[in-house]
Chain A
Amino acid sequence: MKDAHRMSNEQKVGVKRRIRKVALLGNPNSGKTTLFNALTGLNQKVGNFPGVTVDKKIGICRLTAGNQLEVLDLPGIYSLYPKSLDEQVVLEVLLNPEGKDYPDAVVVVADAANLKRHLLLCTQLIDLGLPILLVLNMVDVAEKEGISIDTEQLQQLLGIEVVATNARKGVGIEQLKEKLTEIKPSCRSFYDVAPLIDQYFEASLKENLPKGLSAYAQWLCLHLFERLSFLTEAQKDSIQRAILHAKEPFKALNLQREEVLQRYEQIDAILAETVLKQTKGGNYSRLTRLLDRWLLHPLAGYATFLLVLLLIFQSVFTWASVPMDWIDASFSEFVNWVHLQGGDSLWVSFVADGLLAGLGGILVFVPQIAILFFLLGILEETGYMARVAVLMDKVMRQFGLNGRSVVPLVSGVACAIPAIMAARTIPNPKERLITMMVVPLMSCSARLPVYTVLVALAVPNTLLWGWLSLQGVVMLGLYLLGTLMSLLVAWLLNRFLRMEQGRSFFMLEMPLYRLPRWRNLLLTVWEKARTFVVEAGKVILLISVLIWGLASFGPGNAMEEAERELRRQLQGKATDEQIENAVASVRLEQSYAGYLGRFIEPAIRPLGYDWKIGIALISSFAAREVFVGTISTIYSIGSEDEMTVVERLRSEINPHTGKPVFNLATSVSLLLFYAFAMQCMSTMAVMYRETHGWKYPLWQLLYMSAIAYLSAWAAYQWLS
């Protein structure tokens, strides 16, 4: 090979280190995740890279003979010159030998059918000087496409071990495992940068570059230093100065382009000797073309997309309702049981009404999240999601969004938390931010119980044309309202948000259609559900305990006195159950939550709410679904069954006006308020994590509250 040269002996000595941690790298769509799952199974956990919110997946791979190995699944990347947050993270890991995640060896995964492109990353990784092994994945697909690869020859030319696998079927996994502990660095390099460094920079610069790195890794530091968080300020300064005083102008972009082209030239030479391509496109790509003609058709394409959306909606609501009702019922039974067993002490109330009720409030969302991610996973795995982005890109662009924003927005219908996290795939920072800002306006599943009660109050239970439920239509309307509002806000943000524009681009691989890998899917679902329970669960639990405290304690002994007075009055005039419900209500009235409710009453009276609704607003500030529970306590209903609540609320009379409290105007006003208000602590927590600060979550809270208040006010004033 013309540019090949032998690595120095020093670099080879480093090999002796035992391999305990392996990083898995590869292009997006190389089948990396499937391989990760095949290697580690359920032995994986998801964490975060410090400072950023890219998922870090670590798994334990059990080797033969009782050995085990840590496998780090890094985000899919195209090259070592990062263009997105995901790619940035990989560089932080690979260039910092002091870092916690620095691997002992690298396994690079390449799609056998797209070898040329995928080898680009491979040759860059080889030049990093770490022990490295190449996995040729999806060899079966390549064979069906008429591509045959001489792995022996490829091994020779790359200077590294090559293992062919089909991770989907588990072929080659055992052979791979055997080789994992003995990975060696390549004996050749592809792009020698040492002369280039000398050409541009004084020799003294080397002292300020991180130690223990190969020349190519140092070269990358020179290109990317501004964004590498592990470099000290002194190091950054010295690199900055060196670049300013370079012997000739250091044109990073040109150098990078030159490097990439040269690498491709060498790859071409290698492929000429190793790959034999017989036919032009086999059955797989023919089928994909056929499906694309249908799924990207101006009419059929959008119709199919709409159908898919409807199907998702339908299943999230109907399938999920069975386990949700079950969880809900079991928890309230459990809470009752604890009350019965424990008697009437404060501790029992804390455990039952604070902790257990909070826990139930978290777990009840798990079915919806699981089903949503299962369905989204199918769309992703089959390759359809990429087509959705294509269908929607031009539309979304009008609103300052990106074709890729569709996934977060659609996911927002289940829960804003995973949806906001899904926005990471959007490369442009402004589009990503706008997407995250508007996602919580999509009607998430937590609004559903609130909507159910309020719609039942506001809309008569009649059928249109004998078959279409009017309440159902209103429900659908609320979802549309959320969607339209999120697009409107996105459009406004795009016009008025000033931030470094960055370049909006949309370049998306169109993977071949294929059947989903169920194991992968189930692992994803498991992982997302667990993340939700742990991450969001913490916040929800904390807040529900806090709210329990506000509702259980009051200033002085006002609560006790009110209770005694009430019991005296009702003695013998009502059943025990009625008395207990009335007591609960009067206690809440005298609690801190009750005082807060009365305190904000002047502010919410224009919306048609009294102080009792005020209490519900406050208590559901952290999580909107709490609304129903609080309302049922305040109006001493003693049951959270929706129909009971609705019946009871309908008969509630406002003592001042003598009219029903929940008339049409108030109900509609509340519906609008809950459609637009933030009312979700967990969403704010996720926004904080994703944007590294309180600025955007607070803005989000502010603008959503403003829209909620104004629209509720307008609706009430107009209807009453």
Chain B
Amino acid sequence: MNRRSVADLRKGERARIVALLDEQLSLKLFELGFLPNTWVELVFVAPLGDPIGVRIDETYQLSLRKEEAKTILIAS
């Protein structure tokens, strides 16, 4: 089955990050706290469906585009 990414989360759903796919983006994502084994929760979706807002590690919120969220794989 296809692996799920942060972009596939439903509102309020929580999941653990497994891996980051995009090499270029991953350093930036690391710095922002998207680390393997960290919990992410989808908090909001912008009115036009994109970008989305997630809560990382139960501490802080961040908004990113779906396109970017697709590169963050989660455990299903």
Q: Which A residues are within 8 Å of any B CB, using their own CB?
A: 78-79, 81, 83, 113-114, 116-117, 120, 253-254, 256-257, 260-261, 264, 280-281, 288-289, 292-293, 296-298, 301-302, 386, 389-391, 393-395, 403, 503, 505-510
| Nearest-Cβ distance from residue B35 to partner chain A, whole angstroms | 6
Name the residue of chain B whose CB is nearest to the CB of A296: B44
Q: Tell me whether A120 and B31 are in contact (CB under 8 A).
A: yes
Given A264-B35, A390-B51, A505-B28, are A288 and B61 neighbors across the interface (CB < 8 Å)?
yes
Closest A residue to B24 by CB, please name it.
A503
| 3 smallest beta-carbon distances between A and B, as pairs | A510-B61, A298-B47, A78-B31
Interface majority SS (helix, strand, loop, mixed), chain A: helix
Across the interface, name the chain B residue whose C-beta is closest to A403. B51
Are B62 and A113 in contact (CB-based, < 8 A)?
no
Please, which residues of chain A bring their CB within 8 A of the CB of B65? 393, 505-507
- The answer to whether B62 and A508 touch across the interface, beta carbons within 8 angstroms, is yes
Whether A116 lies near B46 (C-beta < 8 A) is no
Instruction: Report 25 cross-chain contacts, Cβ distance below 8 Å, ordered by A residue.
Output: A81-B27, A83-B28, A113-B60, A117-B33, A257-B23, A257-B27, A261-B35, A264-B30, A264-B35, A288-B61, A292-B43, A292-B44, A296-B44, A296-B53, A389-B63, A393-B50, A394-B48, A394-B51, A503-B24, A505-B25, A507-B32, A510-B53, A510-B60, A510-B61, A510-B63
Residues on the B chain within 8 Å of A254, using CB: 23
**Of B26, B31, B49, B57, which contacts A394 at CB under 8 A?**
B49
With A and B bound together, what is the CA distance between A288 and B48 in angstroms?
Answer: 21
Beta-carbon nearest neighbor of B62 in chain A: A509
B2 within 8 A of A: no
Given contacts A386-B63, A507-B62, A508-B63, contact A117 B49 (CB under 8 A): no
Q: Which residues of A contact B21 (CB under 8 A)?
A: none
* B35 / chain A contacts, CB cutoff of 8 Å: 261, 264
Q: How far is the CB of B52 from chain A (nearest CB, A)?
A: 9
Closest to B65 in A: A506
Give B52-76 interface residues, CB cut-off 8 Å to A.
Answer: 53, 57-65, 68
How far is B27's CA from A83's CA once the two chains are assembled, in angstroms?
10
Q: Which residues of A contact B32 (CB under 8 A)?
A: 78, 117, 507, 509
Asked if residues A113 and B47 are in contact (CB atoms below 8 Å), the reply is no
Say yes or no: B33 contacts A116, CB within 8 Å. Answer: yes
Interfacial chain A residues near B28, Cβ < 8 Å: 78, 83, 505, 507
The answer to whether residues A292 and B63 also contact, given A264-B35, A390-B46, A503-B24 and a CB cut-off of 8 A, is: no
Bound Cα distance from A560 to B51, whole angstroms = 68
Q: Which of B23, B48, B49, B62 contacts A510 (CB 8 A)?
A: B62
Partner of B47, one of A78, A114, A302, A503: A302
Q: How far is the CA of A289 from the CA of B60 in the complex (A)?
A: 11
Note all chain A residues with C-beta closer than 8 A to B26.
Answer: 257
Given A253-B23, A281-B58, A386-B63: A395 and B48 interface contact (C-beta under 8 Å): yes
In the bound complex, do residue A391 and residue B31 qualify as a contact, i.e. CB atoms below 8 Å apart? no
A292 CA to B43 CA, complexed, in Å: 9
Centre residue among A257, A281, A297, A507 by max chain B CB count within 10 A: A507
A403 to B24: give the CA distance in the assembly, Å: 21
Which of chain A's residues have a CB closer than 8 A to the CB of B44?
Answer: 292-293, 296
Q: Is the CB of B25 within 8 A of A393?
A: no
CA distance A116 to B28 in the complex (A): 15
Q: A117-B32, A403-B51, A507-B68 are in contact. Are A393 and B46 (CB under 8 A)?
A: yes
Interface string of B8-51 (1 = CB under 8 A from A): 00000000000000011111111111010000000110111111
Closest Cβ neighbor of B22 among chain A residues: A503
Q: Least Cβ distance of B48 to chain A in Å?
A: 4
CB distance from A487 to the nearest CB of B (A): 16
Task: Give min CB distance, A513 to chain B, whole Å.
Answer: 11
A79 and B53 CA atoms in complex are apart in Å by 22
CB distance from B29 to the nearest CB of A (A): 8
The answer to whether B46 and A113 touch across the interface, beta carbons within 8 angstroms, is no
B23 and A296: CB pair below 8 A? no
User: How far does the alpha carbon of A288 sit from the alpha carbon of B59 in the complex, in Å?
Assistant: 12
Q: How far is the CA of A253 from the CA of B30 in the complex (A)?
A: 12
A117's closest neighbor in chain B, by CB?
B33
A509 close to B61 (CB less than 8 A):
yes
Q: What are the residues of chain B within 8 A of A296 when measuring CB–CB?
A: 44, 46-47, 53
- Which of chain A's residues has its CB closest to B30's CB? A260
- In Å, the complex CA distance between A256 and B64 comes to 22
Measured in the bound complex, the distance between the Cα atoms of B29 and A130 in whole Å is 27
Given A117-B33, A281-B58, verify A506-B51 contact (CB < 8 Å). yes
| B30 in contact with A390 (CB, 8 Å) | no
Tell which of A81, A280, A394 has the most Cβ of chain B within 10 Å.
A394
Bound form: Cα–Cα A279–B53 in Å? 22
Docked CA distance A296–B46 (Å)? 6
Contact call B24/A506, Cβ cutoff below 8 A? no
Q: Is the CB of A117 within 8 A of B31?
A: yes
Q: A505-B64, A507-B29, A510-B63 are in contact. List 19 more A-B contacts (CB 8 A).
A: A83-B28, A113-B60, A117-B60, A120-B31, A257-B27, A261-B30, A292-B44, A292-B53, A296-B44, A301-B47, A505-B68, A506-B68, A507-B65, A507-B68, A509-B63, A510-B53, A510-B60, A510-B61, A510-B62
* Cβ–Cβ contact B63 & A507, under 8 A: yes
Q: Which of B31, B50, B65 has most A Cβ within 10 Å?
A: B31
